[in-house]
Amino acid sequence: MDFAAYTTMVRDFVVAHPNWAAAVVFALSFGESLAFVSLFLPFWAMLVAIGAIIGGADSFNFWFIVFAAGSGAALGDWLSFWLGYHYHEKIQAMWPLRNHPNLIEKGKVFFDKWGAWAIILARFSGPLRASVPIAAGIAQMPQGKFQLANWSSAYLWAFVLLTPGAYGMKWWYEYFV
């Protein structure tokens, strides 16, 4: 099965079982934000599709789904940060960091310069979304600063990701169906 087939399967599951939508969105957002997972499994496409389903069906609670997506994303980043913060020496010895030992020092300079904005901006960049939190942990970014940026940007990201599909479909049904 290819990724498109899995996307269709998840979408069809949410349509058939709307009570599970929040749990599915939570799990997809968690995976999307977990260190390096989204580089191989871009769950954002499934989240956009679910956003469209939310708009097309009145039985869904949009804000509850946004809360589930934001919480999953923030917890995925929190775990990635925690792994980097506590296991930075072991992670630095793993691929791909072992081949680029100067990246950690550059990461520390980057987080010192940009601080919480680095986390917020990375949330909206696909390739950086899942790797910046672990890099922030490895660079020993202060946890309070990280978590403030992490949680606030996660809910904003969830809203931005789900809104176009949800309200686009609502508009479509209102005017064309």
Residue ranges covered by each domain of the chain: 3-176
Summarize pLDDT for 109-151 with one digit per residue, the tens: 777 788 889 899 888 887 677 788 988 998 888 999 999 999 9
Summarize pLDDT for 17-46 with one digit per residue, the tens: 888 989 999 999 999 888 877 667 777 778
**Which residue in the block uniquely carries the two structure tokens 């769950």?**
43
Q: pLDDT at position 94, please?
A: 77
Tokens for 173?
A: 């049904």
Name, in order, each residue with C-beta under 8 angstroms of 91's C-beta and a sequence gap of 6 or more.
83, 84, 97, 134, 138
State the Cα–Cα distance between residues 7 and 69, nearest whole angstrom.
Answer: 17
pTM, 2 dp = 0.83
